[in-house]
Structures are given as structure tokens and as C-alpha cells.
């Protein structure tokens, strides 16, 4: 249960929160279960205990939070933390499951056997890049795809499959929570696409007021065409910008690299100084009559309304060589030099920022990763140095990384473990100070909500999916000898609104879903994560269940506890003349071995069907190729982790030691000056195991 509920502010006017004030031909625009949204708004944001997990560098205000948006906002409001800019790139309701590429590392015990292949790839990189430029074929990408095929498999990061009404209600509650922790002069950027963006625009009008709408940005995120059948290729995303009030920060940005601006430069900068500097001329004419700007200068008469600058500025520009005096004509012109030209003011069509190419340095291998240039423009536009930037669906950590680069503070929030780890490693490489916090909401997630849901399907004894006569409302069903088919309900971990089992949910079950069952069920099982009042729910079921079907309530946390199983690490620490050396002798991850086995089985069947040979992923007896990161804590034996030293192995097998990249391969060891007290090992899928030494 939450420690308490933090009230929303400002208090929502009844009806307004549910879009009831928007009408079309006398028909109120309403969505299913919108009254439950209003009940949650009245109840407030759930506030849970927050546990510090790790501090990197000196203490700072920068935060990386693992948890849901609403709970993170409750924590920030309780701590009276206000943000100056919010950028969110939430799920798009695209109907797609997003996955990440999991790379098998090189095994240091088998280094010699694979070193030749790695060396050939590295030696040919420059040749490949040159060939790509000459032919237009991305040979580097083709090599990368081949490496991926041989040494990687996919894992689901999150499912972006929503019922429209569920998404709108979920997003409304998130946006209300976010507004609570914004300063009065703050701005929010909401990044979506055609799937659901137009609905969210209505929510934003409701929450922030259509008077505070600033811009709709169209980002042309890619070129070329995939030529989909029967429709135009989709090459754009939409970003909605709203201020919390009329007093929002807006620093004008300029575009220099777009095709339109380059064409403008080619056509206008046609004059050349003796020293070779190119320039264009621009009139110095006031648009409105100004008597104090009516003066002659070096025989040139003022325009009818006067010059656009005062006499002292005119003299200054003249001294600096920034004035052009035509031999024929009545006007003095200003010289705008190309090497000082900032570009054209940015418009709401952003076609000069490109998606990250597969070989880019900033690429971190995270699905939906956005380019740093996109966030640079947003953060520069709507904040000044020292301000606080927040991203509540932080993903790859690009917002935090760019905010830090630009001298801003940041808050990165995400529910997925891979997001927290990717962001942590990215910030460490950038030499950033920050603290990692975890919201203790009672849900022990396995990597991310989607993978946890998949795992739960295997943990419920006898559960079958897709049982005939059972709607999608149910997670599946169990067949028992006495009760027959028993439908099972599990709250969707991707949807925060289903976290708390309350009377409206139970009412839906007993007065709708039980009535619609097409099987002769004597019993249903309802799992819950959190619960308002168990006795009250049981009484409600007894008083209102018109069927003879028994409703059994079960705590899902008992199953979730079994989801998180530690890997096995066999290691040895020895004292050396320079300090301490810890060697990993063996690493066993049953979950990864099972996943790789499934991958090999599926790949083999597909290859047989196509008449091709399949190259399976083979794991050595030592299993060291399943390790991504090793860290030592020489300060604490328990509590908050302190990474005294750490080694990360990238997908090519190169070592990143304490955030510094190298071209060295891992030798299976990690050294430290001080005696290590704990060791942390992260496998290639992101599961972390900590052992006391």
C-alpha cells in the first residue's frame, strides 16, 4: 500500500477532467471508465517509500528514478521539487512490441579462437567506410547485421498495445501528475505520432488550457521510403508544446544545415571581401517612423521612416567594416558575413535533425532512442543554464545526457530496468554526478513490465493462454478436476491504473465479465498487486455477485517474488602487490540459457523450412560471454551500492573501465586498489546479482 496519497494541484474541476466540456452536435465526448479516472484524481497520487540504490560522484540534484511516472511525481511533489522543462516520449499506442538486441560477448577463456575474426572486422572498418562513401552501399551496416545474426538475439522491452480508452485515461492521469511538479514558467513537450497524438492533443488542451498551446512540431525523422502497400510512407513524428502559463521561456533557435537554408546561403551570400570572406547585404530600414533615426550618414539620406539603428551603432558597424556603401543608390546596407551567420529562425517543421544511423557514436542500442540533436534544440529553446529538465519515460537517457552536457540539471524516470542501466552507463561515460533511486511500490519487476507479464504466464501453475470462451480481459485459465475451467485475472503491469484492486474493478468483474463467460466456470481467480480494503472488497463481492461463481482473491506479489532469481557467480579474489584481483571463473544464468535455447530451436526450425543451414548460439562451459558488467564495492557490505571500480564489456568485447573506452579485450578479471567487499555482475539482458566477498 502507498504510504499516503499526495493531492493533485490545482484541484480539478469536476467534468473538466473527463473532457465533458467538449461537445460535438450536442453529444458529450466521453470515454469508457472515465469516472474511474476522476475517482483516482480525487484520491491523489500514490506516494511510496523511495530507496537510494547508488550515488555516482559527488552528491547532486540529478536523479535517475526507477518507477512509474505518477509515483515519481508524487515523490517530487512531497520533496517540493519543481521542474522547468518536461520532455516525454511515452508509448505511441502503436500496436507493436519493441525489442532490444542482446549481444553475446566474447569469452576471455576462448579469446584466441575468435580473436582472428574480430581483428579482421576491426582492420577493415576504414576500408568499409571508404567503400560506403564511394558506392552508396552501407557495408558497415551489412557487416553489423551479419554479426547480429551470429551473436545476438532479441528480447522484448515493452509492449505498446493498448485499448484506446485505456491509453487516454492512463495518459490523462500522467499529464495531471506532471503538471503538479512544473514551475509556473515551465514548458512541456509531448512526443507522439499519428496513432494517438490527436487524442492526446485534446487532453493537453484540457489540462494546460488551449491558451497555453505554443506549437505543434512536425519532425521529419527519416528520408527515403519503405514503400508500404496502399499508403504513403510515414516519415514524421509530432511534438506538442504547452506552457504551464503564458510566461514560458522561449530562446529562439536557428537552423543552418537544412537544405532550404543551404539554398538560401547559395543564393544570397554572393559577395566576397578582398580577404575572401563571403557576405550578403541587408537593408537598414525602420518599418515604423522614428524621428530620432532620421539622420544622414556619409552623404546617404535616411529612409522615410528612418534607419533601423541609431547613429552610434551605425558608426560602430562602419568601423568594424560591416557596412556596404553602394556607388549607385540611396541606401546604406549592412554586411552579414557567412562565417558569422547563425542561420534562419527554426520553424515548426524540423527537417534538419536525422534519426541515429546504425554506426553513430551516440547509438546505445536502445529501441526508440532519439537523437541528441533533437533534445539539444528542445532544451536550449525552453531552459537556461542551471534549470531542471525532467523526462518521465526516459528510455535511453538522451534527455538526461543532453541536459547535463548543456549545464542543466536532470531527472530521468523509467519503469524498465534496461532504461535505468543504459542511462546509468551513459551518464558515467559522460562523467556525470547523479543518484539512482527506486520507488518501493511492492512490485518486483523482472527487467520491465512486459517481460514480467510474460514470465508470470509460466509461474502460474497450469495456466493456459487463449482458452476458447474466455475474453481477453482474463490473463488465461486453469483447468482443475473439481472446478473445471477457472479463468484467471492478472492486472496489466504496463497500465498503472490496474495496480490497485478496488470496488470499480471488482464491479466490472462480477457484473460484466462473469456474465459474459462462455464457459461453465464455478470459480475465478483474481490476482492483485495492491488493494484498497480487502474486507470491503470481500463484502462487496458477497453482496453483489449475482452468479454462483466463486471469486478468489490472491496477492500477485507472492508470484512476483519468484520472478527475480539470481544468477550464479564463481569468483576468486586474491591479494597482489598492487592491490586486489578478482577473477570470474564461471557464470551461470539459467534464464539466459533457456532463452538462447528457445532462440536456437526457433532458428533451426525456420532454417529447415527454408532449406538453409542454421548457426546456433553456443555458450561455453564458463559462461563468461553472458556477462556485460562487473563492479566492485570497496566501501559497503550492504545498503546503497558504491561502485569503487567497474568494467563494462561492449558488444564487440572491448572494455570500458570506469566510463573510459578502450580497445582492450576483457581477460576475465577486475582489479582494485582497496579490498573489495561486494561484487556486482550484470548479465547481457540486464539482470544484476550482488554477492558479498
Q: Output the pLDDT for position 285.
A: 93
Q: Residue 584: what are its φ and ψ, rounded to 5°?
A: -90, 115
Q: Output the pLDDT for position 618.
A: 87
Q: Output the pLDDT for position 495.
A: 73
456 Rama sector, left if φ>0, alpha if ψ -120 to 50, beta otherwise: alpha
Residue 554 class from Cβ within 10 Å (0-12 exposed, 13-18 middle, 19+ buried)? middle
* CATH 3.40.50.150 domain locations along the chain: 4-94+162-250+366-439
Q: How many CA atoms lie within 13 A of 296 on its CB side?
A: 5
Residue 320 class from Cβ within 10 Å (0-12 exposed, 13-18 middle, 19+ buried)? exposed
Which stretches within 243-389 are classed as H helix?
Answer: 259-268, 311-319, 372-382
**Strand, coil or helix: what is 543?**
helix
Which stretches within 545-671 are classed as H helix?
Answer: 557-563, 590-610
Q: What is the DSSP letter of 668?
A: S
* pLDDT exceeds cutoff 50 at 25: no
Peptide bond into 193 cis (omega under 30): no
Q: Output the pLDDT for position 13.
A: 40
Q: Output the pLDDT for position 369.
A: 87
CA distance from start to end of the chain: 35
Q: Output the pLDDT for position 36.
A: 65
- For residue 144, what pLDDT band results from cuts at 50, 70 and 90? very low
Helices (H) and strands (E) in the chain, counts: 18, 37
CATH architecture classification, 449-562: 3-Layer(aba) Sandwich (3.40)
Distance CA 504, CA 540 (A): 10
Q: Output the pLDDT for position 21.
A: 40
Distance CA 488, CA 507 (A): 16
| 45 touches 6 (CB < 8 A) | yes
Distance CA 542, CA 213 (A): 49
Give tens-digit pLDDT for 595-611: 888 888 888 888 888 88
Most confident of 122-126, 453-457, 495-499, 514-518: 514-518
Positive or negative, the CA dihedral 200, 204, 210, 216 is negative
Q: Residue 453: what are its φ and ψ, rounded to 5°?
A: -60, -40
Q: In sequence order, what are the residues at sequence separation of 6 or more whose Cβ sits closer than 8 angstroms to the Cβ of residue 119?
A: none
* CATH 3.40.1340 domain locations along the chain: 449-562
Higher pLDDT, 693 or 225: 693
CATH 3.30.300.30 for domain 4-94+162-250+366-439: no
Distance CA 238, CA 656 (A): 36
Q: What is the DSSP letter of 57?
A: S
Amino acid at each position: 500500500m502507498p504510504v499516503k496519497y499526495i493531492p493533485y494541484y490545482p484541484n480539478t474541476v469536476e467534468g473538466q477532467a473527463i473532457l465533458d466540456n467538449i461537445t460535438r452536435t450536442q453529444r458529450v465526448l466521453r470515454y469508457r471508465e472515465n469516472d474511474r479516472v476522476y475517482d483516482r484524481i480525487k484520491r491523489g497520487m500514490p506516494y511510496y517509500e523511495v530507496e537510494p540504490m547508488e550515488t555516482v560522484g559527488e552528491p547532486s540534484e540529478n536523479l535517475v528514478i526507477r518507477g512509474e511516472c505518477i509515483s515519481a511525481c508524487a515523490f517530487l511533489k512531497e520533496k517540493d521539487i519543481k521542474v522547468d522543462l518536461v520532455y516525454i516520449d511515452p508509448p505511441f499506442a502503436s500496436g507493436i512490441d519493441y525489442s532490444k538486441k542482446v549481444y553475446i560477448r566474447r569469452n576471455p577463456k576462448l579469446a584466441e579462437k575468435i580473436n582472428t575474426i574480430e581483428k579482421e572486422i576491426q582492420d577493415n572498418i576504414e576500408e568499409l567506410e571508404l567503400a560506403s562513401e564511394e558506392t552508396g552501399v552501407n557495408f558497415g551496416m551489412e557487416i553489423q547485421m551479419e554479426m547480429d545474426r551470429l551473436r545476438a538475439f532479441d528480447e522484448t522491452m515493452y509492449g505498446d498495445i493498448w485499448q484506446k480508452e485505456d491509453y487516454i485515461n492512463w495518459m490523462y492521469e500522467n499529464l495531471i501528475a506532471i503538471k503538479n511538479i512544473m514551475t509556473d514558467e515551465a514548458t512541456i513537450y509531448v512526443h507522439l505520432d499519428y496513432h494517438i497524438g490527436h487524442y492526446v492533443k485534446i487532453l493537453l488542451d484540457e489540462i494546460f488550457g488551449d491558451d497555453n498551446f505554443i506549437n505543434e512540431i512536425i519532425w521529419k525523422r527519416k528520408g527515403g521510403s519503405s514503400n508500404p502497400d496502399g499508403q504513403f510512407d510515414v516519415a514524421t513524428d509530432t511534438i506538442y508544446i504547452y506552457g504551464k502559463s503564458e510566461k514560458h521561456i522561449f530562446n529562439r533557435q536557428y537552423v543552418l544545415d537544412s537544405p532550404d537554408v543551404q539554398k538560401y546561403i547559395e543564393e544570397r551570400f554572393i559577395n566576397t571581401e578582398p580577404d575572401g570572406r563571403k557576405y550578403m547585404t541587408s537593408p537598414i530600414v525602420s518599418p515604423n517612423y522614428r524621428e530620432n533615426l532620421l539622420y544622414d550618414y556619409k552623404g546617404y539620406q535616411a529612409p522615410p521612416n528612418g534607419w533601423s539603428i541609431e547613429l552610434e551603432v551605425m558608426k560602430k558597424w562602419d568601423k568594424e567594416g560591416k557596412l556596404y556603401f553602394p556607388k549607385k543608390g540611396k541606401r546604406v546596407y549592412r554586411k552579414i558575413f557567412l562565417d558569422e551567420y547563425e542561420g534562419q529562425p527554426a520553424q515548426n517543421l524540423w527537417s534538419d535533425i536525422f534519426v541515429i544511423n546504425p554506426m553513430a557514436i551516440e547509438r546505445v542500442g536502445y529501441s526508440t532512442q532519439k537523437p541528441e540533436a533533437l533534445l539539444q534544440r528542445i532544451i536550449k529553446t525552453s531552459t537556461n543554464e542551471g534549470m531542471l529538465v525532467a523526462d518521465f519515460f526516459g528510455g535511453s537517457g538522451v534527455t538526461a545526457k543532453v541536459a547535463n552536457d548543456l549545464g542543466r540539471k536532470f531527472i530521468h524516470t523509467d519503469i524498465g530496468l534496461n532504461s535505468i542501466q543504459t542511462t546509468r552507463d551513459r551518464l558515467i561515460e559522460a562523467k556525470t554526478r547523479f543518484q539512482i533511486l527506486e520507488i518501493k511500490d511492492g512490485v518486483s519487476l523482472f527487467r520491465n513490465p512486459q517481460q514480467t507479464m510474460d514470465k508470470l504466464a509460466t509461474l502460474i501453475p497450469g495456466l493456459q493462454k487463449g482458452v476458447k470462451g474466455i475474453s481477453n480481459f482474463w490473463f488465461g485459465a486453469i483447468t482443475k478436476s473439481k472446478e473445471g475451467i477457472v479463468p484467471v485475472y492478472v492486472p496489466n503491469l504496463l497500465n498503472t491504473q490496474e495496480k490497485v484492486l478496488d470496488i470499480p474493478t471488482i464491479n466490472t468483474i462480477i457484473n460484466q465479465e462473469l456474465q459474459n463467460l462462455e464457459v461453465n466456470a464455478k470459480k475465478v481467480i483474481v490476482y492483485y498487486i495492491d488493494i484498497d480494503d480487502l474486507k470491503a472488497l470481500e463484502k462487496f463481492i458477497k453482496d453483489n455477485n449475482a452468479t454462483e461463481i466463486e471469486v478468489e482473491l490472491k496477492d500477485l506479489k507472492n508470484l512476483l517474488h519468484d520472478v527475480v532469481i539470481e544468477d550464479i557467480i564463481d569468483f576468486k579474489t586474491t591479494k597482489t602487490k598492487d592491490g586486489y584481483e578478482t577473477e570470474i571463473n564461471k557464470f551461470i544464468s539459467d534464464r539466459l540459457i533457456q532463452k538462447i535455447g528457445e532462440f536456437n530451436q526457433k532458428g533451426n526450425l525456420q532454417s529447415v523450412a527454408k532449406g538453409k543451414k542454421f548457426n546456433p548460439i553456443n555458450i561455453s562451459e564458463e559462461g563468461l560471454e553472458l556477462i556485460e558488467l562487473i563492479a566492485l564495492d570497496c566501501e559497503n557490505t550492504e545498503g546503497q551500492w558504491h561502485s569503487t571500480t567497474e568494467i563494462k564489456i561492449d558488444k564487440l568485447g572491448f572494455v570500458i573501465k570506469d566510463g573510459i573506452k578502450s580497445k582492450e579485450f576483457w581477460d576475465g578479471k577486475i582489479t582494485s586498489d582497496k579490498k573489495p567487499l561486494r561484487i556486482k555482475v550484470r548479465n547481457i539482458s540486464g539482470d544484476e546479482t550482488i554477492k558479498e566477498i
